[in-house]
Amino acid sequence: MYTIGDRLLVMVASDRISAFDVVLPHPIPFKGQVLNQLAAFMLDACKDICPNWLLDVPAPHVSIGRKCSPFKIEMVIRGNLTGHAWRTYSSGKRELCGVHLPEGMNENDFFPAPIITPTTKAELGHDEDISQEEIIRRGLVTEQQWEQLSAYALRLFERGRSIARRQNLILADTKYEFGHIDGVITLMDEIHTPDSSRYFEAEGFEERLSRGEKQKQLSKEFVREWLIKNGFMGREGDRVPDMSPEWIEEISLRYIELYERVTGLSFKPEKLTEEETLKRINLATGKLLA
């Protein structure tokens, strides 16, 4: 990320991939382009809900937007009991981030209504679960800001669900990051991408649910599951397992599949030289700063 004139933020999406807050050693071909173009698609589709940071996409893996002062929390929205929420639930706990979880639920069940389970946004180390009350008590946001952030997040999630539904997908959970520009709350970063969201295949969902089978997912969770299976969860002393060329290609193909499934568009891989990328960035920022 680069700041220009303290007004613009240039975000260059790399092909790196992380899990459990650890960057894995091998890049995933076209991952940066997938994330950047999918985020741009979604930000454009949601721009009527709240202000967002994005101004231009001069290259397939580059976005330029307004520089925001970030809130130090992430708004995690869950429509289904899955992932971290399910691991918490299956351990016997019935509260997550101060939110009560109903009894009698099974993995991947829909919540009666989407829930917000925020986390801290750690500069170092792991993000941590946090409740609304603790967020306000610690002064991370005011009560009025929390109400606005919650309203925006729930509306964005419903829009994301609607887009997914048209593509025969279920948006199970996601997270949003917000900041402010001159006091105006503004949506930041990428949204509804496989790095921040989990999608289920809608076709056959109920049948798999009734049989207690794993749901077919389009998300980064399959990478986390592979790491867990191979003994890595980001704990001290854990060693990242070797990633074969075949596994790296599989991850790349699944990212591309998600882009095409979610947007309904064909993915056109494009690799630019650093020189061409810089030329496009300079041209775009020159126009925005003029």
CATH number of the domain enclosing 37: 3.30.470.20
SS3 of residue 41 by DSSP: helix
Q: Per-residue b/e over 82-116, b at no fewer than 16 CB within 10 Å?
A: bbebbebbeeeeeebbebebeeebebbeebeebbb
pLDDT value for 219 = 74
Residue 161: both structure tokens together: 């669900």
pLDDT value for 92 = 96
- Are 99 and 81 in contact, with CB atoms under 8 Å apart? no
Distances (CA, A) of 288 to 8, 185, 239: 9, 21, 45
Distances (CA, A) of 278 to 10, 60, 141, 150: 11, 12, 37, 37
pLDDT value for 218 = 78
pLDDT value for 6 = 85
Beta bridge partners of 11: 63
Beta bridge partners of 64: 10, 56
Burial of 132 (0-12, 13-18, 19+ CB in 10 A): buried
**DSSP assignment letter at 238:** -
pLDDT value for 217 = 83
pTM score > 0.85 for this model? Answer: yes
Of residues 141, 139, 136, the one with CA closest to residue 180? 141
pLDDT value for 194 = 80
Burial of 129 (0-12, 13-18, 19+ CB in 10 A): middle
Domain range spanning residue 90? 2-289
The pLDDT tens digits for 159-179 are 999 999 999 999 999 999 999
Pair type for strands 73-80 and 184-188: unpaired
Residue 238: both structure tokens together: 């854990």
pLDDT value for 125 = 57
Q: Into how many domains does the chain fold?
A: 1
**What are φ and ψ of residue 6, in 5° steps?**
55, 20
Which residues in the chain land under pLDDT 50? none
- Are 209 and 109 in contact, with CB atoms under 8 Å apart? yes
pLDDT value for 126 = 63
